[in-house]
Amino acid sequence: MGLEAVVNEIREKGQREAEAIRAETRAEVEKILKEAQERAAAIKTAAQEEAERTASHIINQETSAANLAVKRLILNAQKDVLDQVYSASLAAVGDLLAEFQEKALTSLLKRAAKEIREGVVHANERDTPIVREILSRDKNLSGYTLGSPVEIPGGIIVESKDGDLQIDYSYRTFLDEIWESCLKDVSDILFT
């Protein structure tokens, strides 16, 4: 065997070893790349899931905020309607017929006389002549004098002579009592 054959054999052996090393390196590189791709895919999946959770959370928050805003608008609109109904009711009670006003004021004065024997009666300007007439003709109300007109939609306000006691029998007071006790029913009728 000549020197050339030994060199060829060494060269072939070197090439085989180099090829084996390259194959081993390629396998290692592929393994590392595959692991890196798997980690990247896992990171990407986790990031997508987190982004979806965050987006879902934000959407839920925004939806809740929008629903709350809509509910607030509806409640404000309903309150406005209830306020209009209250005002219309108060105006309607104040605009009842004169015969009704006289009967109502007579009844209220008799009721007040049970609590305050002597005092001053205040009514609105429209009802002052009616109250004056009732006080002048009913002997049971002789302890009362007519006071100055007050800004009420109807009814009376009676003060004791010493000013320590006051009874508010104005229509607004009665309507407020009824309104408070029936507000849910009124709301149900209007908004259901």
CATH number of the domain to which 148 belongs: 3.30.2320.30
| Rounded-to-integer distance, Cα 155 and Cα 26, Å | 103
- 87 and 151 fall within a common domain: no
- 25 and 36 fall within a common domain: yes
- 131 and 143 fall within a common domain: yes
pLDDT tens readout for residues 18-60 = 888 888 889 898 998 899 899 989 999 999 999 999 999 999 9
CB 128 within 8 A of CB 188: no
Give how many domains the chain has, as a whole number.
2
Nearest CA-CA partner of 131 in 120, 72, 190, 55: 120
Q: What 3-state class would DSSP assign to 143?
A: coil
- 171 and 117 fall within a common domain: yes
- 101 and 90 fall within a common domain: no
- 21 and 68 fall within a common domain: yes
- 49 and 112 fall within a common domain: no
| Rounded-to-integer distance, Cα 159 and Cα 178, Å | 23
Please report, in tens digits, the pLDDT of each residue of the chain (192 residues total): 577 877 788 888 888 888 888 888 898 989 988 998 999 899 999 999 999 999 999 999 999 999 999 989 988 888 888 888 888 888 887 777 888 889 999 999 999 999 998 999 999 999 999 999 999 998 888 899 999 999 998 899 999 998 899 999 999 998 888 888 887 777 777 777
- 84 and 109 fall within a common domain: no
- 145 and 184 fall within a common domain: yes
Q: What 3-state class would DSSP assign to 127?
A: coil
| Rounded-to-integer distance, Cα 9 and Cα 20, Å | 16
| Rounded-to-integer distance, Cα 58 and Cα 56, Å | 5
Expressed as residue numbers, the domain containing 150 is: 97-191
Is the four-CA dihedral 69, 70, 73, 75 of positive or negative sign? negative
- 91 and 1 fall within a common domain: yes
Helices (H), 116-170: 128-137
Residue-level pLDDT at 157 = 95
- 11 and 87 fall within a common domain: yes
